[in-house]
Amino acid sequence: MIVVEGKEDTVAIRRAVDADTIETGGSAINEDVLRRIELAQARRGVIVLTDPDSPGERIRKIVEARVPSCKHAFLLKDEARGKDGIGVEHASNEAIIRALERVRSSGGSNATEAESAAAELEPEIEWSDLLDAGLIVHASASKRRERMGELLGIGYANGKQFYKRCVNFRITRQEFARALEQLEKEGI
């Protein structure tokens, strides 16, 4: 089941892939919707695919807090840009498929219990890694985070949220290094 914000998002998802959706009705997500998401996660699994903007991030956080084992897919802002703004409904079929192919787990469901426990105690990426990579406290930090988020498949976020995503999505040092190398090649 794919969690989206509204009806137009459902239309876009069904245009791109054969999938069922749960619509949150925007950022005013209610208890009934959260219970349906919990049930869907228990029975089928859930992927959250919200707009790459502040309200979409708010919904993502609400769902993650309630259903921490859900998975996340991220669209790039440029892929979701339309005449009326930014949203899943503006994304091409290809962009939606790419986002779903790069789904990330934040609960470590792909790891063993011991690996998950160790990862929670010691994150691979540290705050100092972001500083050293110029992702915070740098003249181009915002632009660099945006591209790193694209390369890592975790979307754009401010410095603090970017760090949390690196930890929550268990970004490895190798993944981080490869993305940083690509960033440097691109001259960003």
Give the pLDDT confidence score for residue 45 in this predicted structure: 94
Domain end residue (candidates: 105, 134, 168)? 105
User: Pairing mode, if any, of strands 81-82 and 21-23?
Assistant: unpaired
Same domain, 88 and 144: no
Give the pLDDT confidence score for residue 43 in this predicted structure: 93
In terms of Cα–Cα distance, which of 11, 144, 162, 146 is closest to 87? 11
Average pLDDT over residues 7-29: 94
Q: How confident is the model at residue 31 (pLDDT cuts 50, 70, 90)?
A: very high
User: What domain range is 25 assigned to?
Assistant: 2-105
Query: What average pLDDT does the structure give for the chain?
Result: 89
| Domain CATH for 44 | 3.40.1360.10
CA 113, CA 101: separation in Å to the nearest integer?
Answer: 25
Domain end residue (candidates: 105, 140, 164)? 105
Give the pLDDT confidence score for residue 107 in this predicted structure: 57
Average pLDDT over residues 50-70: 93
Per-residue pLDDT of 77-105, as tens digits, reads 899 999 889 999 999 999 999 999 999 98
- Neighbour count for residue 136 (Cβ, 10 Å): 20
Domain end residue (candidates: 38, 70, 105)? 105
Average pLDDT over residues 43-67: 94
139 Cβ contact partners less than 8 Å away, ≥ 6 residues apart: none
